[in-house]
Amino acid sequence: MINNLFLVGFGGSLGSIIRYLISINIQKYYWGGFPLATFLINCSGCIIIGLFFGLSERFDFVNNDIKLFLITGFCGGYTTFSTFSAENLQLYQNHHFITLAFYVFISIFTGVLGVWLGYFISKI
């Protein structure tokens, strides 16, 4: 159990650090009202988790420890659903209803598409 906690925690810390670095770099160059950094991180995270799921089915070397590290840990730390939810509340509170609806729709659509794409790529 301690080993599992370490794998998830270490993977999560790496995912969080990478998410932070990507986010601050996107925010240097983008000043619009749409939460682009979170959107791109969530979309890429969906592709990554799809790849990991597909590769774990395809190859025997992907054991439970690797799944805990990559899927539960890294992807859990990298993706930002809680930030996504908070940003939607801010859009609502600021009466940006069209942006809110677009952000929710496009995030869910591209998230599902990203998982499928990553899974598909892993099978090639």
Tokens of 114: 């990203």
CA 7 to each of CA 72, 87, 91, 113, 119: distance values in angstroms, whole numbers, following the listed order: 9, 30, 36, 28, 23
Cβ-contact 37, 103 below 8 angstroms: no
Tokens of 110: 């591209």
Helix, strand and coil in the chain, % to nearest 5: 85, 0, 15
Q: Was 111 annotated as part of a binding site?
A: no
Q: Was 79 annotated as part of a binding site?
A: yes
Sequence ranges of the binding site: 76, 79
Binding residue positions for Na(+)? 76, 79
